[in-house]
Amino acid sequence: MNIYWADLHIHTVLSPCGDLEMSPGNIVEKAAAMGLDIIAVTDHNHTGHARLTRELGARKGIWVVYGAEINTREEVHCLTFFDTDEQLNAFQLEMERNFVKIPNDSSLFGCQVIVDEQEHIVEEVSHSLYPGLNWVIEEAAGVVHDLGGLFVPAHVDRPMNGLYSQLGFFPDDLEADAVEISRHTSREAAEKEHPELKQYMLIQNSDAHFMDDIGRAGNRYMMKSRKFSESRMALKGEQGRSVLEI
Amino acid sequence: MTTEQIVKALGLKVYTTGDMTTREVTGGYVSDLLSDVMGHAKEGEVWITLQSHANVVAIASLKELAAILLVKGVEPDKAVREKAEEEGIPLLGTVEDTFIITGRLFQLMSKK
């Protein structure tokens, strides 16, 4: 088994709240400088920077997992992860079918741009990426799983947009592959408050919106290699794979 | 005032009846954050919300609320109705938004 350091929740400039410095290029540079082995860029309701980040990461020896941080109808934020381009494209289409299309006012909410390697803007997403998609949380998990992805409720302990703030308690029939707690709490504190979390692998990530946040939290993944199938086993604690605290 | 009297006075839609003919309503609570309702709503209150996740029913049952009132024409799905039926919670609806329906309920309850 090998140990890989991973930060799986990073926002790029495509997220309205992501800092302008957060281009795929800068993120990969910073992740390499921090010694990260695996990252995921998880923009709100969009996967527009996934591919470029993966390409740039590969050049630096970083494995970039495809993903997005989606917002459900109940306004619960959830991390979603995918392996292949086909899955990523299919998921982007599914999201686009379920957007509530409200125009984004970038002066109020921040700009939502997709950039290229040279940091030229190639697209500006015109509708706001903030509102919840038209999926209840269990439906969202179903869509992700049907495509072969992983579904992880994000920062469940946060007072806004966390599973507990929005839904009061963990729904019985929600199929989560793991659960993310914010970097402002600890495994012990989270499990003490919500004992049902003991049945899940708990992960912590930076939820970086600014360059200095990247790698501020993360986990060590114990796996054979950096493959999606391995990370799935690690998140589920199967066959000797596991997720360790830093 | 019973839940049923409120239903009639405000012309509410009834998805599940629960104990609405006998249940005395003591007040109302307005929130879409379920954690907030778990912490602060009181027994006998009508909960006005736009959240229609199945957890709403469990929380109404836990807090012994008089009814759940869904605003803006939000329709509960089948699983949520079944759960409300099971728990005996009146699940109600209105096409009005939260501000309007809360104002009407407040007015109605203030008359008594």
**% of chain B at pLDDT higher than 70:** 99
Give the closest of B35, B37, B53 to A164, CB-based: B35
DSSP chain B: -BHHHHHHHHT-EEEE-TTTTTPBP-EEEE-S-HHHHHHH--TTEEEEES--STHHHHHHHHTT-SEEEE-TTPPP-HHHHHHHHHHT--EEE-SS-HHHHHHHHHHHHHH-
* Distance between B108 CA and the closest CA of chain A, angstroms: 30
Q: What pLDDT score does A107 carry? A: 83
* Statement: residue A246 has pLDDT above 90: no
| ipTM field | 0.83
* Statement: residue A100 has pLDDT above 90: no
> pTM for this structure?
0.93
Going by pLDDT thresholds of 50, 70 and 90, the confidence category of residue B112 is low
Number of independent structural domains in chain B = 1
Domain housing B63: 3-111
Going by pLDDT thresholds of 50, 70 and 90, the confidence category of residue A114 is very high
* Statement: residue A243 has pLDDT above 90: yes
Q: What CATH homologous superfamily does A2-244 map to?
A: Metal-dependent hydrolases (3.20.20.140)
Task: Write out chain B residues lying below 8 Å of A137, CB-based.
Answer: 53
What is the CATH classification number for the domain harbouring B43? Answer: 3.40.1390.20
Segment A71-80, tens digit of pLDDT: 999 999 999 9
Chain B nearest-CA residue for A76: B33
Is A166's CB within 8 Å of B37's CB? no
